Amino acid sequence: MQEQDPMQETVKAGFRVLGLVQGIGFRWWAKRIASRLALGGTVRNCPDGSVEVKVEGTSDAVAEMEQALRSGPPGAHVRDVRRFDVHEELPTEFQILI
């Protein structure tokens, strides 16, 4: 896990990941990355075939997560990542939602 810098602001962000991102272990991969970056939040498959990721942590960790989502795990073909604002409370431990 990445150690958080107490001087860095905590931020929240959401990402909609589009492309071939379901059925290839994307959610479990996202959980591993988020845990390594000490991010809280959630990941879930959406009915339209995209994956939604919501995270909370340092701005550096959130930026690193966004960069990772743009590549995805082996087998993924990420076409686009759309960032959106998140205002609700997120779990402190990253969770896969079913």
User: Which tens digit of pLDDT belongs to each residue from 74-90?
Assistant: 999 999 999 999 999 99
Query: For the segment 12-69, what is each residue's pLDDT rounded down to a tens digit?
Result: 999 999 999 999 999 999 999 999 999 999 999 999 999 999 999 999 999 999 999 9
Q: Which helix (H) or strand (E) holds 83?
A: strand 77-84
Q: Identify the pLDDT of residue 8.
A: 78
Domain boundaries, the chain: 10-96
CATH for 10-96 (3.50.50.60, 3.40.228.10, 3.30.70.100, 3.40.50.300): 3.30.70.100
Token representation of residue 85:
């604002």
Cite the active site residues.
27, 45
What confidence category does residue 6 fall into, taking pLDDT thresholds of 50, 70 and 90? low
Instruction: With CA atoms as reference, report the closest residue to 16 among 81, 92, 88.
Output: 81
Q: Are 98 and 28 in contact (CB under 8 A)?
A: no
